[in-house]
Structures are given as C-alpha cells and as structure tokens.
Amino acid sequence: MYSVPYLEHYADRYVELHLKGHGISLEQYLANPQRYEHLADEPFPLLPKQRQAQARIDAAEVPVPVEAEVDHLPRRNGTVVEILHHHRHPRRKPSGMPGWSRT
C-alpha cells in the first residue's frame, strides 16, 4: 500500500491536474504518476454527444477533387490558364521631365 504522505501528495496532484476528465482513475495514477502527468497539458476528450456531432460533420465534408475546381478555367495546350483580372494603369511622367508638357 502507499504511505500517507505519498497518497496525500499524489491525490492532491490528481485533483489539481483534473485527470478524472481524461478517464484516468486515482488508482491508475497512483501506480505510475509520471505516465499520466503529460495529460494535464492536453485537451479533454470529446463527450459522447460531441463525438456524434463530430462524426456527422466529418461525414458531411466530402473533399472536392482538384480537377473539379479547375474544370471551368480555359486551357492552353492542356495547361490550365487562370484569368487575370488586372487592368494596367498608364504611367504618369513627372512634370520636371524634359520633353513633356501639359497641353
């Protein structure tokens, strides 16, 4: 069995780290505290209803193939060419340049 100071220290630490939320019993923790200390930094596992919701969300997300995303774009020699929506603006000459005057 465990000594009283050992039990008090690690039982308090068990409560402090909220290891019950990770599904670890006090007996498991007392048998090997170092094995479960890292769980304090990790998020709690999902609750059953949260797992069901996550499964529904994952099932609804069907990845769209890349080909479907670029099918509508024009092609040149089989290569997809993205249409650029840019209009070039004419350069302005500064007023101090020779050969340029306002008319």
Over the stretch 30-40, which tens digit does the pLDDT of each residue have? 999 999 999 88
* Residue 72 domain flag: no
Distance CA 28, CA 18 (A): 14
Note down the domain range covering 50. Answer: 4-60
Using the predicted structure, report yes or no on whether residue 102 has a pLDDT greater than 70.
Answer: no
Pairing of strands 75-76, 79-80: antiparallel
Distance CA 57, CA 7 (A): 43
* Residue 86 domain flag: no
Confidence of residue 14 (pLDDT cuts 50, 70, 90): very high
* Residue 84 domain flag: no
User: What is the value of pTM for the model shown?
Assistant: 0.49
| DSSP-derived secondary structure letter, 73 | S
Locate the DSSP E strands across the chain: 75-76, 79-80
- Number of domains the chain is built from: 1
